[in-house]
Chains A and B, each alone.
Chain A
Amino acid sequence: AQKVTQAQTEISVVEKEDVTLDCVYETRDTTYYLFWYKQPPSGELVFLIRRNSFDEQNEISGRYSWNFQKSTSSFNFTITASQVVDSAVYFCALSEAERDDKIIFGKGTRLHILP
């Protein structure tokens, strides 16, 4: 069965600190995609990244980086030098090739960046 666990319900850090959001997934499929979405206080959901199960290279986009490790079934998200605008709820999600009609979301991590 597919499952996404975001164990950190809420995190608070002071601005400019680095912070890592954890995501652990479960799947029996060998082919799948992992995603991260951001939900700022305004409420909309914004796509951040998509990662194929065959591509374990880490990804960096500005202050954001993602670490994908199949050995530990994790897809962690790190924000470097955090800013107040990073305050949001972040969702990790999983979609399997065998169930291409379905995406499973984690319960989200609420991140507070304190000025």
Chain B
Amino acid sequence: EAQVTQNPRYLITVTGKKLTVTCSQNMNHEYMSWYRQDPGLGLRQIYYSMNVEVTDKGDVPEGYKVSRKEKRNFPLILESPSPNQTSLYFCASSFYSSYNSPLHFGNGTRLTVT
């Protein structure tokens, strides 16, 4: 089944404790991206990747890191999480870009930082 898999679905952590949210897609998509969803703010892009080893900042990259060593994987790393990073996170992928290809989303990761 074609899908974007995110793990974990729920994560509660404490301030400063490094964490990684994994994202994997099995559709051979070039483009991958991370978003955070907050009430009243909609979806905001954190980082994106147009291809392997190519990553760029989105609108809200502060406090996050990503890597794209393989086409299928695009992990989101929070080196030192803070409470303002409590949010619902989505990974997404599409064939070449977000321009003309629909995004396929993972099921989301709800992160709470205390």
Give the interface of A toward B (CB within 8 A).
33, 35, 37, 43-47, 50, 52, 91, 95-97, 99-103, 105-108
B102 touches A47 (CB 8 A): yes
Which B-chain residue is minimally distant from A97 (CB atoms)? B99
Q: Which of A37, A43, A99 contacts B107 (CB 8 A)?
A: A43
CA–CA, A105 and B96, complex, Å: 19
For chain B, give the interface size range. 20 to 34
Give the distance in Å from the alpha carbon of A107 to the alpha carbon of B99 in the complex: 19
Q: What chain B residues lie within 8 Å of A46 (beta carbons)? A: 105
- Contact pick for A33, options B45, B58, B100, CB 8 Å: B100
Please tell me if the beta carbons of A107 and B41 are within 8 angstroms of each other in the complex: yes
Alpha-carbon gap, A108 to B43, bound state (A) = 9
Closest A residue to B42 by beta carbon equals: A107
Question: With A and B bound together, what is the CA distance between A103 and B42 in angstroms?
Answer: 12
Would you call B56 an interface residue if the criterion is a C-beta within 8 Å of the partner chain's C-beta atoms?
Answer: yes
Beta-carbon nearest neighbor of A49 in chain B: B102
> Contact: B42 with A44, CB < 8 Å?
no
- Please report B residues at the A interface, Cβ cutoff 8 Å: 31, 35, 40-45, 48, 50, 56, 58, 88, 90, 92, 96-100, 102-105, 107-108
Could you list 30 examples of A-B contacts with CB < 8 Å? A33-B99, A37-B103, A43-B107, A43-B108, A44-B108, A45-B92, A45-B103, A45-B108, A47-B102, A47-B103, A50-B100, A52-B100, A95-B99, A95-B100, A96-B99, A97-B99, A100-B96, A101-B48, A101-B50, A101-B56, A101-B98, A102-B48, A102-B58, A102-B98, A103-B98, A103-B99, A103-B103, A105-B35, A105-B42, A107-B41
Q: Closest A-chain residue to B106, C-beta based?
A: A44
- A100–B104 touching, CB < 8 Å: no
The answer to whether residues A108 and B108 also contact, given A33-B100, A50-B102, A100-B99 and a CB cut-off of 8 A, is no
